[in-house]
Amino acid sequence: MHAEVVEYLRCPVCASSLSATGTALRCDAGHSFDVARQGYVNLLTGQVPAGAETPEMISARAAFLGAGHYDFIAAAVADAAGAYSSGLVVDAGAGTGHYLAALLRRRPEGFGLAIDVAKAAARVAARSHPRADAAVADVWRGLPLADGCAEVILNIFAPRNGAEFARVLRPGGRLLVVTPRPDHLGELVATLGLLGVDPDKQRRVDVALGGRLRLDRSDEYVRKLRLTRSEVAQLVAMGPSSWHVDRPELSRRLADLGEPVIVTASIQLSVFHIAPRLGG
Ligand SMILES: C[S@@+](CC[C@H](N)C(=O)[O-])C[C@H]1O[C@@H](n2cnc3c(N)ncnc32)[C@H](O)[C@@H]1O
Ligand SMILES: [Zn+2]
């Protein structure tokens, strides 16, 4: 792992700093965390929560994102990140690290940390870019990072923890949140019986973040995707519906689709900054 990232990592047990010793990171109190052969550190204490993606979901996501269908999201995120060129980018709920890598490609001196609760994700994200590292951690239990260390935090289609984002974001830094809009993948919700997006989701995101995070702006991006049947299958396999669908029924419905399948991708990108502490 990169020294530029390790310096900001904190022990998930006692919050002291960590240093690299052989194949582990260790704090002064002796808590030790293995760095896997694939280059990620496991900082998860306790059980893996529900919602961790499976290796099958991660490989479907890698294939779908690799084909470029969501490049418009990566470009919007990289534009919204602003003009800094160095510092730490944290991707909370990073999945394959696709968006983190896209941002680092535009930031020649930046370093990145992908955080995900799924080992399968951390394994892929650790190799997403030469200046990216990855850690397994549960964002709901807190980020294993120093106060005010992140220049940019990405949170894309992933669980969020407003209090922790506010603690970790540097004054002047930005939090970028991508959420699906109610019509996201609407055609597939109807024809394949997928889970729809809660129409109240955006309001819930703003409320959940709250506190010291201030909304600078929020923009919608809508694209018509032209997909093959197998790309539609990847899209289903990488999303929350993959936990719920009846697979034989899904295969029948997929087989009935004519190509190309036109699908609406519709997302909201919200940019937040951190308000100064009162009296500080
Ligand atoms: C829908 S995927 C999005 C991944 C990536 N941001 C992208 O858009 O390609 C959500 C990710 O959040 C991770 N995740 C779920 N619960 C989590 C938690 N409590 N802490 C950290 N990551 C979590 C999942 O393992 C998964 O990789
Ligand atoms: Zn410790």
Percent of the chain with pLDDT over 90: 76
- pLDDT per residue as tens digits for the range 8-40: 999 999 999 999 998 999 999 999 999 999 999
**Ligand nearest to C-alpha 10:** 2
Look up residue 4 and give its amino acid: E
Looking at ligand 1, which atom is closest to the CA of residue 141?
19
Distances (CA, A) of 210 to 85, 96, 154, 202: 28, 28, 17, 13
Distance 159 CA to ligand 1 centre (A): 7
Q: Cβ(99)–Cβ(79) under 8 Å?
A: no
Answer whether residue 50 shows pLDDT above 90: no
CA atoms within 13 A on the CB side of 131: 20
What pTM was estimated for this model as a whole?
Answer: 0.95
* Average pLDDT of span 191-202: 77
Best mutation site among 45, 117, 178, 242 for ligand 1 pocket (most ligand atoms within 8 Å of CB): 117
Determine the Cα–Cα distance for residues 192 and 253; give it in Å rounded to an integer.
6
Q: In which residue are the tokens 């582990």 written? A: 24
Asked whether residue 203 carries a pLDDT value surpassing 70, the answer given is: no
In DSSP notation, 45-61 reads -SPPPTTPPPHHHHHHH
Over residues 125-169, the pLDDT tens digits come to: 999 999 999 999 999 999 999 999 999 999 999 999 999 999 999
| Contact status, residue 153 vs residue 172, Cβ threshold 8 Å | no
Say how many C-beta atoms besides its own lie within 10 A of residue 81's C-beta.
Answer: 23
DSSP track, 42-109? E---SPPPTTPPPHHHHHHHHHHHHTTTTHHHHHHHHHHT-S--EEEEEEET-TT-HHHHHHHHT-TE
